[in-house]
Amino acid sequence: MSEWAAAVEAVIRESGSWAYLLAFGYTVAVAIVPFPAEFPAMLNGALFGPMLGTAITWSAALVGAQASFELSRRFGRPLVDRVIPAEMRRRADRLVLASGAAGLLLLRLTPVVAFTAVNWLAGLAPLRRWTFIWTTAVGIVPGAILFTVSGSGLAALYRRHPAVALALLILAIGVALSVRKRMRRDRRP
């Protein structure tokens, strides 16, 4: 194991309960701000292993998603009501209500739709709070598992073969950025 990895593990051991609280808080914050949610999930996996890391990732992402939803509902909807014409709002609201829970669940299960964007946009929509909560709780399970376990596996690989792990990490970041760039380009008219 490299000196860096050993130092990180020592800090976590010495931090005790604070390490778990910090990981939870960091994951909640990332669910509120526009930052890729995959990074804290992978970090949780690398630091706490696949089981505990997934539990931290899932529960904190759910709390952060709910906070985003509530902030958007409280402050965003009144702003939208002042800025967007009434007829356009009614059409958008009908579309959201027509797709309902199935539409929101599909958005949660689609990995190319930004987690934070769904949180904030759902708060603007005339969705029931319970619909948002249960579709989020169910819909984020696959991603929470996938990214947390990936982080755990990457950490294990790093302990044995640091150069290979870093090369895979760089490759994964490059592929993700390339896909993101392509998607943005394809969306342009």
Q: Are 39 and 126 in contact (CB under 8 A)?
A: no
Using one digit for the tens of pLDDT, what is the confidence trace for 134-163? 999 999 999 899 989 988 888 888 778 888
Cβ-based burial of 174 (10 A; exposed 0-12, middle 13-18, buried ≥19): exposed
* pLDDT at residue 6, as a whole number: 66
Residue 115 to residue 69: CA distance in whole angstroms: 12
Which residue range(s) make up the domain with 174?
3-187
Q: Quote the pTM value.
A: 0.76
What distances in angstroms separate CA 167 from CA 3, 9, 44, 160, 163, one per listed residue?
Answer: 18, 22, 20, 13, 6
Using one digit for the tens of pLDDT, what is the confidence trace for 119-132? 888 888 888 899 99
Indicate if the alpha-carbon torsion angle 69, 70, 71, 76 is positive or negative.
positive
> Per the structure, how many domains does the chain have?
1
CA angle 172, 176, 180 (to 5 degrees): 170
Q: In the predicted model, is pLDDT for residue 88 greater than 80?
A: no
State what percent of residues in the chain have pLDDT above 70: 90
